[in-house]
Amino acid sequence: MLTWSLVMTSPLQSDLLLSLLAQAIPRLESHFSALPEMDSASDLATHDAMTDVLGQVADRMADNFPYFHPMYIGQMLKAPHPVAKAAYALAQSINPNNHARDGGRASSEMEIEAVAGLARMFGLPQHLGHLTSGGTFANLEALWVAGQLHPGKRILASQQAHYTHSRITSVLQLPFASVPSDTAGRMDLTALEDELRKGGVGTVVATLGTTALGAVDPLHEILALQARYGFRIHVDAAYGGYFRLIADQLDPSASAAFLAIHHADSIVVDPHKHGLQPYGCGCILFRDPAVGRLYSHNSPYTYFTSSQLHLGEISLECSRAGAAAVALWATQRLLPLVPGGEFAQGLAASRRAALEFDRRLRTDGRFLGLSAIRPELDIVVWQVVADALAESSRRAQSIFDQAAAANLHLALVQLPVAFFWENPDNRFAKGDIVTCLRSVLMKPEHEAWLERIWDVLRDSTDKALA
């Protein structure tokens, strides 16, 4: 049993969090005991009034899906680790700002150390990087650097890449082209080379863990094309990045892609996904530290008490929550990012759950799994069998509703029908879209809960199709 596999519904986690803070807060306060006493701003409001407002917050927050619970398998959401929540709350006693060292002295150092830990996980021999508010802004920085180095050149990404890449390039006023994907949801290399032959490509975005399928673009093969055509490679591993720790347990293509990730020019990963962190916590890493020169700026009002490079000098963002860095540092201190470690074991458990869930779906005649591959990470998608696509989509919606009524929360996704049929017998057009069901089994608890999840899905399907 993984010791960090704690569910928010357990009263032990609330007790644990309060216990951790009850011991840590006085320890932090003791370091500032020489300061003159002052009235707290909270004295402006009465204890009863604050209690009442927090009670209202608790009631309002009940209007949410139970993202923290193993029966929630819909989107890329799970609870932060207790030590991350405690460290974040403790840091908020100071409320550091990691834009500059004067605003977050300790938290800036902790960010540097935590980011270095992520770089080591990817096998980068050297790096320049920092935390961001999330993957979108991290990807923006990567493509901004790409545009600075190759102004006016095109950015290419797969049709299954996150939609924000086309938005980001629009903001940056860089030309963008979408490359078709194959029936496994990976970037089609033949289509990619067709675009490369046209010329004018500055950067190719390889996605290691697409949002819909968890598909892994063949980075190792894209690197071979880079040697011939000379473009930058940006890896969007916002979702899948941590699977580098269990690359040896993935299928061959995905394993080869993760093992080649250190050759990429830039990498994005989101610790607030698999990294057990509160929102928002993204990270951008560059293989060549020399790109830091592109961030150069003069700011007459920036802090001057430190001669060392501060994180605001290598970031497009200014104010950034130092508490996010503290929480990440604490989590990596407790659960080091090493193959075979406790953190890696949690990823392995999620993948095993996804593979078993996919196996069960394929043995049920009412469902179709992906025709080309089994799950590459821990995301599972399936189509409901029907004679017409409209009826298949309707059945998926009905199963979704029935499962939610039984406290099993899935997701819906629209995908090309070609992903599910090897030989459609001219029944469907190649570009036809069908609404499918999707699950993200990203909590280590999902392996232990899979039997119950399956029972609820089976019963919900019986009711929906009755």
Between CA 442 and CA 238 the distance in angstroms is 14
Cα 114–Cα 119–Cα 122 angle in degrees, nearest 5: 135
Nearest to 324 by CA among 285, 276, 268, 281: 281
Q: Name the residue ranges covered by the structural domains of the chain.
A: 105-296+307-334, 342-465
Q: What are the two backbone dihedrals, phi and then psi, of residue 409, each rounded to the nearest 5 degrees? A: -105, 110
Predicted TM-score (pTM) of this structure: 0.92
Contact 267, 285 (CB under 8 A): yes
Cβ neighbours of residue 266 closer than 8 Å, sequence gap 6 or more: 142, 145, 146, 232, 233, 234, 235, 284, 285, 286, 287
What CATH number has the domain spanning 105-296+307-334? 3.40.640.10
Between CA 439 and CA 423 the distance in angstroms is 25
Q: What distances in angstroms separate CA 426 from CA 413, 421, 429, one per listed residue? A: 23, 11, 7
Contact 438, 458 (CB under 8 A): no
Between CA 274 and CA 361 the distance in angstroms is 24
Q: Which residues does residue 283 pair with via DSSP β-bridges, in sequence order?
A: 131, 269
Fold of 342-465: Aspartate Aminotransferase, domain 1 (3.90.1150)
Torsion angle of the four alpha carbons 145, 148, 153, 157, in this order, in degrees rounded to the nearest 10: 10
Question: DSSP assignment, residue 150?
Answer: S
Distance of CA 53 to the CA centre of its chain: 32
Tens of each residue's pLDDT in the chain, 466 residues: 344 443 344 544 677 888 888 888 878 788 877 878 877 665 667 888 888 998 999 899 999 999 999 999 999 999 999 999 999 999 998 999 888 878 889 999 999 999 999 999 999 999 999 999 999 999 999 999 999 999 999 999 999 999 999 999 999 999 999 999 999 999 999 999 999 999 999 999 999 999 999 999 999 999 999 999 999 999 999 999 999 999 999 999 999 999 999 999 999 999 999 999 999 999 999 999 999 889 876 554 444 344 455 687 888 888 899 999 999 999 999 999 999 999 999 999 999 999 999 999 999 999 999 999 999 999 999 999 999 999 999 999 999 999 999 999 999 999 999 899 866 556 666 679 999 999 999 999 999 999 999 999 999 999 999 9
Count CB atoms within 10 A of the CB of residue 170. Answer: 11
